[in-house]
């Protein structure tokens, strides 16, 4: 089965990007291990526990694997970017989380690819579908498959389509001709590094930049449980779930396609902070059911909303923050108390 046919099938299944990578053990694994050893994964134990070594070789997921079909699905829309928002009474939710959860949608597309290939193949083949959660260095294999280069913001960037796309993989025992990795086209640009409010993009000591999750707004608002370090709260601005700043300022995204499929259209675009602060636990679940936002958890989300209200310095948030300061969850209460102090210190 040839490479061109497989990529054509991927496009028929709805993926704008598709390419093939060979099963190459140790691809970028030493860089990953060094990153983890430096503590830059923060408290994300799933990146550093026993599953870390599984990323050494994709055959730990499928022993008969010979090729990886890497696919990308665009999720950009025409809505404003963070650097175009001026109303600090609104909360910012990362663009990828505006619509439906991408995991089942990406898996469904890959299942359609498998069905097509099984129909066209004269021999049975093994396969494994991976969508984000598998212990696989997917950006590295996507780069090897020609989908883009890994930019200074650590996102995969496609020259013509930018970086607003989800990644997923199909490991298969089919022997497919691999594509070639594109050259790095970041040049001397440092806009993502300069724009990051918490300076999370740091030199790695080898002339490149890497992400220190312990300084990242997305880590603070999604992955971190418990208290957000006080010295970093102001840098969160109005972000209540995730962050897009390093992609918003990227020149390669200026012409990015904004015609994403309906499933990724926003259910919640920049919702008012006052409405978010008033959500009950049931209201949170009902409002964000089926979207990635539920990953933050109800109390984690309220914690983020409190910080955003404090950063807004809007006196009108005094009443909702006082209510949150009496919340039974001590983390929510502590962050609301901090936010109230920010309002009180406003000239």
Whether 53 and 137 have beta carbons less than 8 Å apart is answered as no
Q: At what angle do helices 102-120 and 3-12 cross, to 10 degrees?
A: 130
Alpha helices in the chain, H assignment, sequence order = 3-12, 29-37, 102-120, 138-144, 191-195, 217-218, 230-233, 245-248, 273-277, 281-288, 298-312, 318-325, 330-344
Q: What is the dihedral of CA 138, 39, 57, 6, to 10 degrees?
A: 0
Lookup result for tokens 């704008």: 16
H or E element: which one contains 47? none
Q: For residue 104, count other CB atoms closer than 10 A to its CB.
A: 12
| φ, ψ (nearest 5 deg) of residue 280 | -80, 175
204 in active site: no
Q: Which of 57, 132, 257, 329 is catalytic?
A: 132
Q: Which of 331, 309, 308 is nearest to 320 (CA)?
A: 309
Q: Is the Cα dihedral 146, 151, 156, 162 positive or negative?
A: negative
The residues annotated with a catalytic role in the active site are: 132
């Amino acid at each position: 089965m040839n490479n061109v046919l497989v990529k054509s099938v991927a496009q028929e299944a709805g993926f704008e990007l598709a390419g093939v990578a060979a099963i190459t053990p140790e691809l970028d694994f030493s860089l990953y291990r060094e990153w983890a050893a430096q503590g830059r994964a923060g408290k994300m134990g799933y990146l550093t526990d026993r599953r870390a070594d599984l990323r050494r070789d994709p055959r730990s997921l499928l022993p008969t694997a010979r090729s990886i079909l890497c696919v990308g699905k665009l999720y950009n829309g025409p809505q404003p970017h963070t650097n175009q928002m001026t109303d600090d009474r609104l909360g910012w939710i990362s663009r990828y989380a505006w619509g439906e959860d991408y995991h089942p949608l990406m898996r469904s597309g890959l299942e359609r690819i498998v069905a097509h290939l099984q129909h066209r193949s004269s021999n049975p083949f093994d396969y494994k579908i991976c969508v984000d959660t598998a212990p696989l260095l997917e950006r590295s294999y996507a780069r090897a498959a020609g989908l883009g280069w890994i930019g200074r913001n650590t996102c995969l960037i496609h020259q013509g389509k930018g970086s607003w796309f989800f990644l997923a993989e199909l490991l298969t025992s089919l022997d497919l001709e691999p594509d070639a990795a594109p050259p790095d086209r970041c040049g001397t640009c440092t806009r993502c590094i300069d724009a990051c409010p918490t300076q999370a993009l740091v030199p790695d000591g080898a002339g490149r930049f890497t992400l220190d999750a312990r300084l990242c707004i997305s880590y603070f608002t999604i992955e971190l449980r418990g208290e957000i370090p006080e010295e970093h709260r102001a840098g969160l601005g109005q972000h209540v779930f995730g962050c897009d700043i390093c992609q918003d300022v990227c020149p390669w995204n200026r012409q990015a396609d904004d015609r994403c499929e309906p499933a990724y259209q926003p259910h919640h675009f920049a919702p008012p902070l006052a409405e978010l602060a008033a959500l009950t636990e049931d209201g949170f679940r009902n409002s964000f059911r089926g979207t990635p936002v539920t990953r933050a958890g109800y109390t984690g989300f309220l914690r983020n909303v409190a910080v955003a209200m404090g950063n807004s310095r809007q006196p009108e948030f005094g009443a909702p923050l006082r209510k949150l300061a009496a919340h039974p969850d001590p983390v929510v209460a502590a962050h609301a108390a901090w936010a109230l102090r920010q309002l009180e210190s406003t000239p």
